[in-house]
Structures are given as structure tokens and as C-alpha cells.
Amino acid sequence: MPGYYDLVADRYRLAGILGVGGVAEVRRAWDTVLRRPVAIKLLLSGCDEADRRRFDNEIHTLAGLSHPGLVSVYDAGTIGPMPFVVLQLVDGSTLRDRLAYGPLPVIMVCELGRSLSEALGHVHTHGVVHRDVKPSNILRDRDGTVYLADFGLARAAGTTRLTRSDQFVGTAAYLAPEQVRGGEITSAVDVYALGLVLLECLTGVREYDGSAIEAAVARLHRRPLVPDHLPFELRRLLTLMTSPHPRQRPSAYECARILQAIGRSEAVGPITTKARVRQHPWRSRTQALLAAALASLLVAAGSTDAAHDAAPPVSGELLVTQQPRGPRADPVESSDSLAKAHKGVHKNKGGKGKPNRGKGKHGW
């Protein structure tokens, strides 16, 4: 492994270490040809063939993508037998660093989520699934630009896991249920992970904690807890993003649209999901129960066509409807005023509301 100030590929002069992972380290460097700071990611010695494949996969995946919210690839090569990649230097901090200071205000989470959703939408449009969306892979520079990094686990959509049948790929705390079960990998797994990340930004607490197995299996037994004090539209979006059913989750671009509207306190309108979307006026719980009772009576009377028209949909598809005028109790069937969207109020353990206006490190 080259030391400080060594010249890599007769061009990049190494400096300090920016971060170290299980199989690679990232260092600050200076491009002596273009005279600009860069970051160099080097695979550590002792890595196996699977680690090399993932490293190469990250290089080729990022090289085929170009978006303001993704770290750019400048160059790649080898130092002896060990590969390296030259990346855009993001001089700032990770979201994981920022969350050590506590939760973020609602308005800031909406903007963060919008930026990440747009980057993911670009990735998904190119048929790629990131598979490892988590706070430590989200960077923010000193100018406020947010980047999604680390595509080592990225794969083409529609594939299953790479490893043995008793292993899963990704970070346990942010896996989608289908990843835990070893099901088909689609862009919906990134939307689920992003939903958990945004929820953690709002609460300051990781939703599924504990050991890798405990964190992974927990989501198969309970859904994430979305706080009631959040604006209705944000609660509804987070509920859909973290649905156990992939087809009920919105696309990344749809998430970006909604988060932008919430941040501006604009009307969100219907949310398009991967399921077949039906437009239908909101029904109250009483109306739904009456409709179901009427349907049962009609079925008993032999009028199956009328029963179908009277009964609310009970299939696996998601019923997407217009926002109700009055407040409801259920976050997916009710509406609150979006006036709280700019207050950034979070409840502490004692249950008292407390405004969180601090930006923390590097302006987060």
C-alpha cells in the first residue's frame, strides 16, 4: 500500500486518509496534471475475489452514470495487482456524522430526501439498483450539495442476491423485506431504504437496531413506526415508502415530487405507486363499514354485481385517493394541515415538543 505523498500512476499525489472500510480506504490526493484535489479509493491488500468484483462493479457502474447527486469517476487503474479509482472529492461530512448531533428539521429532511430521490431516480432509469442506501453513504459538501456514494453493491434491477443462500447483501438495518427473504431485487428496495433513512433523520433513532440478524428479521414482524406529529402528507409518504409490499412503494422520482411539494407546503395530490392506480373519492371508516355490510347483504341476496360496486377494494393493490378535507385518525386515510412542515418539531423521550433549529456540523 503506498504511503503518504507517494505518486500514484505518476499523477496523483496521496495525502491524508478520508475514510476506511472493510475492503477499501479513501484518501485525499492532488491531481498534478489537472491541478485539482481528488479522492482516491484503493482496495486493501488481502481482499478476496468477491471484493475485487464489487470494487470493479462500483467503478463501471459510476462510470456509466452522470448526475449532480452522484460522485463522479475521473480515472481508474492499478497499483501492482491492486485496483484504485479516482473520484470527485466531496469535502464535507456524511449524514451519519450529522445524525450524531440529533434529528433534523422537517423542512431540511424534505430537501435532503428530494435530492436523494432525484439521484436514485436517475440511477433506476439506467436499470441500476444501489442496494446499500444508508446514512454513511450519503455525503454533503460545504456548499450544501448532497451526494449518494458507494455503488459497490449496485446491481441490475430484477436480479437476486450474489452471495450464498444463507447470506444477504447490504446493511441489515436498511434492508427491504424482500432482500431479507432473498426475493427479486428491484428499484423498490432503494425506496424502502431511503424511507428508513428519512425516518431516522426525523427521529434521530435507527428504526431497526441490534445485531445484523435481529435488525434484518425485525422488519418481517413489524412495520416502521412513523411519528404521528409529522405533517400528514409526509407520514403518508413514509408509510408508502416503507410498505412491506414492493408494488405499493412510489418510484424515486415520485418521492422527489412529493417531498418537494411538502417542503413548499403545496398540495401533493395523488401518489402514484407501482401497483395499478385507481382514482376514488376518500371514504370515511363508517362509510367503508356500511359499504362492506351492504355488500354482504347483496351477496346473500344473490346480487354479485351490485355487491362488487358497493364494496371497497380488498385486493392487494393500493387505493390512491384525493386528500380529504377534514382530519382523520389514520395517516393513510386522513389529512392534517401542512402548516407544521416548517416548524421542525420533534418529541423527546419525555413526550414534550422541542424545536430543532440547529444545523449541526457543516451546515446540515
For the annotated catalytic residues, the residue numbers are 132
d(CA 297, CA 306): 10
| CB-CB contact of 149 with 139 (8 Å) | yes
Strands 320-321 vs 146-148: parallel, antiparallel or unpaired: unpaired
Angle between helices 188-203 and 232-241 (to 10 degrees): 140
SS3 state at 58:
helix
Query: Which 8-state DSSP code applies to residue 35?
Result: T
Query: Which 8-state DSSP code applies to residue 292?
Result: H
* Residue indicated by cell numbers 404521528: 228
d(CA 327, CA 169): 41
How many other β-carbons are positioned within 10 Å of the β-carbon of residue 337?
Answer: 10
| CB-CB contact of 177 with 219 (8 Å) | yes
Q: Express the helix, strand and coil content of the chain in percent, nearest 5 each.
A: 35, 20, 45
* Residue indicated by cell numbers 452522470: 66
